[in-house]
């Protein structure tokens, strides 16, 4: 999945949910389940997600929705090697982007 979000300091929960094509309730649920998601909250409790939060949500989405991990499995996987997972995940996402660009170039030739 390649999420499309403008570059900003903070994102609302609706922007994040829309980018991942999920309900805001799932994002709130993952926030409770995974301690790597730590949005800022204002006095009214409105969540503002940082780009780091979005990256962590993307990683959780990848593990749970794309690779079929259970929540417990995803938590364990994150605890065991988050740096390595993030590095591999970043590489995969960059390669997917390059592939998409190359296919677009091929289509236009």
DSSP assignment of 9-37 equals: S-EEHHHHHHHHTS-HHHHHHHHHH-TT-
What pLDDT band is residue 86 in, cutting at 50, 70 and 90?
low
- Does residue 70 fall inside a structural domain? yes
* Residue 50: HSE in the Cβ half-sphere, 13 Å Cα cutoff: 9
- Within the chain, strands assigned E span 11-12, 40-41, 47-49
How many independent structural domains does the chain possess?
A: 1
What pLDDT band is residue 1 in, cutting at 50, 70 and 90?
low
Residue 54 sits in a domain of what CATH number? 1.10.1660.10
Give percent above pLDDT 70 in the chain.
89
- Does residue 101 fall inside a structural domain? no
pLDDT tens for each residue of 26-76: 999 999 999 889 999 989 999 999 999 998 999 899 889 988 999 999 888
- Does residue 103 fall inside a structural domain? no
- Does residue 109 fall inside a structural domain? no
- Does residue 100 fall inside a structural domain? no
- Does residue 43 fall inside a structural domain? yes
Considering the entire predicted model, what is its pTM?
Answer: 0.71
pLDDT at 19: 92
Q: Which residue has the higher pLDDT, 23 or 1?
A: 23
pLDDT at 41: 92
- Does residue 64 fall inside a structural domain? yes
pLDDT at 91: 75
- Does residue 74 fall inside a structural domain? yes
Please give the Cα distance from 16 to 6 (Å, whole number): 11
> Which whole number is the average pLDDT over 87-94?
72
Full domain range(s) for residue 75 = 11-79
């Amino acid at each position: 999945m390649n999420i499309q979000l403008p570059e900003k300091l903070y994102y609302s929960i609706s922007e994040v949910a829309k980018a991942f094509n999920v309900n805001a309730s799932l994002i709130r649920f993952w926030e409770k389940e995974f301690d790597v998601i730590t949005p800022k909250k204002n006095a009214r409790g409105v969540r503002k997600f940082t780009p780091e939060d979005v990256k962590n949500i993307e990683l959780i989405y990848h593990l749970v929705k794309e690779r079929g991990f259970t929540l417990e499995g995803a938590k364990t996987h994150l605890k065991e090697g988050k740096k390595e997972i993030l590095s591999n995940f970043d590489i995969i996402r960059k390669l997917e982007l390059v592939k998409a660009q190359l296919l677009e170039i091929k289509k236009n030739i």
